[in-house]
Every structure is written in C-alpha cells, then in structure tokens.
Amino acid sequence: RKGAGDVSGRLFRCTFYSDPEHERLLREKEMENAMEGALENGEFVVYLQPKVSLETGETVGAEALVRWDSEDRGLIPPDEFIPFFERNGFVIKLDLNVFEQVCRLMRAWMDAGLEPLPVSVNLSPLHLQMPDFLDAFEEVRERYAVPPRLLELELTERVAFENLELLRRVVDDIHARGFLCSMDDFGSGYSSLNVLKDIPVDILKIDRMFFSSDDERARSVVSSVVELAKKLDMGTVAEGVETIPQVDILRSIHCDAVQGYVFSAPVPIDAFEKMVFGEDGGEIHS
Ligand code: C2E
Ligand code: MG
Ligand code: MG
Ligand code: MG
C-alpha cells in the first residue's frame, strides 16, 4: 500500500494500492470458511417484506429475504453473498434453510391461532439443475404441517432460461406439490415473452426497473404486462415501488399488489408480526 496522493488546490486524491480483486478473493475465502458454521449458528436470518393489496390496502402476504447476521461483519445484505454461494453451490442449502425458517414461522402463527399469511421464498436458478430438489422442500413442509398453498416459490427471470422445457417441468412439479409459483424480476431478463407464453406461473413479480422513471413508455409496458397477466390468469405484484404516485398508477391499471419501500422495507420477523398482527405479535414465540 502506497501513501496518499497529492494535494493540489481543492483536489485531494488518495490512492491505495490494495488490489480490489485480491480483497474480493480474501472475502470469499472468509465466507467459504464461515458459511457452514454460520448456518448452524442461525446467522442467516429471515427478514419479511409485506405485499400490500391495491384493492383493500391490506397486507396479503410477504417475501422472505435473507440477511447474514455475522458476528464480525454485522448485517450483510444478500447481494454480497448470494452470488458467491451460487458459484460454490452453498445456496442450495441456504435456500432450504430459509424455507424451513418460514415453515417454522407459519407453524408458530397457526399454533397461536393467527391467520397465517402466505410467504414467498427465493429459489436460486441453481436448483433447476437438481431434478429432485423439491423432495427436500416437501419433506420440510410436511414436517411443519403447513398448507402448501401458503408457500410460494419465486424463480428469477434475471437469468436467461436456455431450457424452457426444464423450467416448465419444474413449475409443473411445484404445482403438483401444491405450492404456488411466481416469476421474480419479470421483465429484467431476455425471455420474458416466451416465459409468459410457455410457463404457467401463478404470479408475475414485475421488476422495479419499470418504476424507476416516470416515463410514459415504461408505464404503457407495465400496463400491458398487467393486462396480459390477467388474461393468462396470473396475479401481479409490482416490486420496488417507492412513491405514492406510482401506487396510484398501479392501482389504476389494476395491478394486484405492491411490494416496496412505499409501504415497508424488509423488516425482522418480530417487527413484521407487530405490523400485521398488532402488539400481541410479541406472544407468538414464547
Ligand atoms: P428479489 O427477490 O428481487 O427481492 C427484492 C429486493 O428488492 C430485496 O432486496 C428488497 O429489499 C428490495 N426492495 C424492496 N422494495 C424496494 C424498494 O422500494 N426500492 C428498492 N430500491 N429496493 C427494494 P434484498 O433483500 O437486498 O435482496 C436482493 C436479492 O437477493 C433478492 O432480490 C433475491 O434475488 C436475492 N435473495 C434474497 N434472499 C434470498 C434467498 O433466501 N435465496 C436466494 N436464492 N436469493 C435471495
Ligand atoms: Mg424475490
Ligand atoms: Mg425481484
Ligand atoms: Mg431483484
């Protein structure tokens, strides 16, 4: 590491010769060493983000989003470890662990006499390469005796699906086991129209990039997508919605639900329970 650069006028340039590529490899090595222990210690925690119905204004479900609560590094967002875990395969175990946490939570809601809300979990595209992965999900669901209709599996459209036939088979298998299936990040991939044509998911989650501008054309696209989804009998959830005007537009084009900071960021489970079930949410896990 060399020292600071020059100070000239108002310009202060500071150059450190620590190779970012080297740092990344070090971090990945650290994660590799820590991941199994972290899973056992319960460091992968589930946050929940509400999905709000545009018709009733009520919370009609939630998405489970994982964070790594690391002793050394604090709360790490998924974008910093999921891509690596997709490369080393650990995401397979992690996704199942997240799913189990969700099933355990729903069991607790039902045991407390609360009306359980449907919760979705994310599936890494890596699962598609393992034909029998749903056996493990079904085993967990049965163990907690959660009705499968309350569980939704999200497949992401961000990857190019080269093999739509395989995708179709997975979606059919998800349905055969009674789970719901959604297409995440819809519109961000390359195959969106083929996916619509060939893959009978229950819900389209429309990617937030469509809401990042108030551009008239983007709005037309979203409105057409919502209309198409309805014709194909799919529900629609708009992701990443941040403003009230966006909500108003989405309501006017009959989008079903909104998931975004405008209503709530993802929050820890106890905070979610307070939000949805009121203060007696505190008694659920006693
Ligand atoms: P995703 O599944 O598309 O989840 C939505 C992401 O958008 C979440 O980021 C959420 O916090 C963020 N978000 C929600 N509302 C807003 C908004 O109004 N504005 C903005 N700017 N962002 C919003 P998060 O939690 O950081 O997760 C990022 C991605 O990591 C997820 O995208 C998903 O692809 C992946 N991920 C998260 N948990 C899991 C998991 O358990 N398994 C797998 N395989 N992937 C996961
Ligand atoms: Mg998702
Ligand atoms: Mg998404
Ligand atoms: Mg995303």
ipTM confidence = 0.97
Cα gap 44→54, rounded to integer Å: 31
Give the pLDDT of residue 32.
Answer: 97
Amino acid letter, residue 130: M
Three-state DSSP state, 107? helix
How far apart are the CA of 54 and the centre of ligand 2, in A? 19
Give, as one character, the DSSP assignment of residue 279.
G
Q: What is the pTM of this model?
A: 0.92
Three-state DSSP state, 109? helix
Give the pLDDT of residue 8.
Answer: 45
How far apart are the CA of 13 and the centre of ligand 4, in A? 35
Cα gap 28→255, rounded to integer Å: 40
Q: Is ligand 1 within 6 A of the CB of residue 82?
A: yes
Protein residue whose Cα sits closest to atom 41 of ligand 1: 66
Q: Angle, nearest 10°, between helix axes 133-144 and 91-111?
A: 20
Protein residue whose Cα sits closest to atom 20 of ligand 1: 240
Which residues of the chain fall below pLDDT 70?
A: 1-17, 214, 280-282, 286
Amino acid letter, residue 216: E
Protein residue whose Cα sits closest to atom 46 of ligand 1: 122
